[in-house]
Amino acid sequence: MTARPLASMSVDLDNLWAYLKTHGDPGWQRYPSFLSSAVPRLLEILGEHGLTTTVFAVGADVVREDGAKAVNEISAAGHEIGNHSFGHEPWLHRYSRTRLEDELGRTEEAIITAGAPLPVGFRGPGFSVTRELVEVLAERGYAYDASTLPTWVGPLARAYHNRTAPPRTDDDGRDELFGGFSRVLAPVHPYRWRTADGSALVELPVTTMPLFRTPIHGSYLLQLHEISPRLARGYFKTALRLCRVRGVSPSLLLHPTDVLGGTEAPGMEFFPGMAAPGTRKVAWLGWVLAALRAHFDVVGTGEYVRRRDPRRERAVTRLDSGR
């Protein structure tokens, strides 16, 4: 019997305060949280589908009681914990090397203290990545990065986001959110960055639709589902079909907002899909996971990197300066 091709899945455990912070809402400084609602729901649906995934945790949450509890429960359930920075700022590409090391180190310490192993995978908030970040990750012994989204829709997403955001008083990084149109040229297959010292770090892109380079992550699929369930199902089926034809191993990204309704995330009315009730979102996500599992062997991002076939890996890529 021929083994099914591999796919990977991950969850960015972005909390309520992180969304408000990026949006420019001052209420984020109270660090409102929806982890107590989102994490049990995510663990339940993953368990129902027999899936083990990777959850990228934010250090500023993990040092708090609810975040530490969430990480401990997620790890105890057999899921990998990755590093999603400490302060969850999508303008990570502006950071100095010293500040990058601090972001990584503080989050690593918090994750270990919460009872999970030292992380070996990283994802930058807002898909923010630079040469210096990759070099720091390699120096600290990380096995992979998952901070790229090869799509052309970044500027459109940024325009939508900024249109709903409060007026800004300084250069807060909003004009650089989600990258530029040039990201459409980034590889969709896993590859390796070559750093200055000659070491290589695996890059596992968040998959976009082959050929068209449009997103297929959970939040985007949910937006389509709110327009038309039939459209959303057809879109995702087409994406999976193209992945099989083009030899792309899908890497599906989820967020807590994919299982939460608007009443469970107060202040996030600006975020697409928050008008939908949580029960409807959970049902839709269940369909997405079942469709993915029907054609692929689904594992976490770290397990995927460990099990990948080096013979099919793309050539080493040298990371230039900048984003």
Q: Is-contact 91 118, C-beta < 8 A?
A: no
In a domain, 88, yes or no: yes
Residue 213 Ramachandran class (φ > 0 left, ψ -120 to 50 alpha, else beta): left
Q: In angstroms, what CA-CA distances link 69 with 16, 84, 108, 114, 198?
A: 16, 17, 16, 7, 39
Structure tokens at 8: 């990977």
Tokens of 138: 């390699």
> Is 321 a member of any domain?
no
Question: In the predicted model, is pLDDT for residue 137 greater than 50?
Answer: yes
- Lowest-confidence segment of 64-78, 103-117, 165-179 by average pLDDT: 165-179
Question: What mean pLDDT is predicted for residues 220-233?
Answer: 96
The 10 Å CB-count burial string (b at 16+, else e) for 17-39 is: bbbbbbbbbeebeebbbbbebbb
Q: Which pTM value belongs to this model?
A: 0.91
Domain boundaries, position 245: 6-313
> What integer pLDDT is reported at residue 93 of this predicted model?
84
Going by the DSSP 8-state scheme, the letter that residue 222 receives in this structure is H
Domain count, the chain: 1
Q: What are the residue ranges of helices labelled H in 168-309? A: 218-227, 229-246, 278-295, 301-307
Segment 144-162 shows an average pLDDT of 70
Calculate the average pLDDT of the chain.
Answer: 88
**CATH number of 304's domain:** 3.20.20.370
CB-CB contact of 237 with 288 (8 Å): no
Task: Give the residue among 78, 310, 108, 52 at the shortest CA–CA distance from 202.
Answer: 310
Percent of the chain topping pLDDT 70: 84
Average pLDDT over residues 108-130: 95
Q: What is the pairing mode between strands 121-122 and 54-57?
A: unpaired
Residue 305 lies in a domain: yes
Residue 258, both tokens: 């994919």
Q: Terminus-to-terminus CA distance in the chain, angstroms? A: 43
pLDDT of residue 3: 75
204, burial (CB in 10 Å: exposed 0-12, middle 13-18, buried 19+):
buried
Overall average pLDDT of the 189-215 stretch: 87
Sign of CA dihedral 166, 168, 172, 175: positive
Section 21-31 average pLDDT: 92
- Picking from 34, 140, 127, the residue whose alpha carbon sits closest to that of residue 84 is 127
Residue 179 placed within a domain: yes
Place of tokens 């082959």: 210
**What distances in angstroms separate CA 92 from CA 72, 87, 122, 253, one per listed residue?**
26, 9, 13, 20
What pLDDT is stored for residue 151 in this prediction? 86
**Residue 322 located in a structural domain:** no
Q: Which of 123, 150, 180, 78 is nearest to 317 (CA)?
A: 150
